[in-house]
A and B are shown apart, each in its own frame.
Chain A
């Protein structure tokens, strides 16, 4: 079945640093989504990507849909303490009836 590899699994950074994480798939996706989850809460959708090569920003967050359609990247610029949480990528293929495949998450810790 389809698998998503998300890396890194965790990151410990200093406030103000930039962050980069990525997901790779064993097969082609037509949609990539990025979510953030804070402790005890449901994931919140940050960015949605629909076309290969698409680059989309949401404030300090920028995500890209890889040209091969098998990967996606999320960058956070000038991190702040409230960026702490677990970031998930999710992909969707044409033949999966709308179902999402999730990565295992990247846990981000920001030191003030």
Chain B
């Protein structure tokens, strides 16, 4: 069966510090991968998605970047965090070529102070 992992689970970082969040998927090959941010207002905002190694599409201009160094690894980064980067970050995957159903990881709670 497929599983998706995210770490860390929680993170408190000062403004201006760098960020690296990691997501890995097991039990599937060539997945589509997604990064979402969920603010306190509950809506999920798509940040990035990837259909393959090194292929990243950005949905909104922002202070964050994403990379996919391996087939089942997706990384969310920032060089300098802003207060507005606080939120709950969710990684998701779907089957390549049949992307209708997305499956979410447990999330990372980021607080920028």
* Total inter-chain residue pairs, C-beta < 8 Å: 51
A98 and B103 in contact (CB under 8 A), knowing A104-B41, A104-B43? no
* Chain A residues within an 8 Å CB radius of B44: 43, 88, 102
Q: Which residue of A lies closest to B104 (CB)?
A: A42
0/1 per residue, B81-110, Cβ < 8 Å to A?
000000000101010000111111111010
B100 and A41 contact, CB distance less than 8 A: no
**A86 at the B interface (CB under 8 A):** yes
A86 and B42 in contact (CB under 8 A), knowing A43-B90, A98-B94, A99-B49? yes
Majority-rule SS of B interface residues: strand
A98 and B99 in contact (CB under 8 A), knowing A41-B106, A42-B105, A43-B104? yes
- Report Cα–Cα, A104/B38, bound state, in Å: 10
The 4 closest A-B pairs by CB, nearest first: A98-B99, A42-B104, A105-B42, A102-B44
Interface positions of A (Cβ within 8 A of B)? 31, 33, 35, 40-45, 48, 50, 86, 88, 90, 92, 97-100, 102-105, 107
Interface positions of B (Cβ within 8 A of A)? 32, 41-44, 46, 49, 59, 90, 92, 94, 99-107, 109
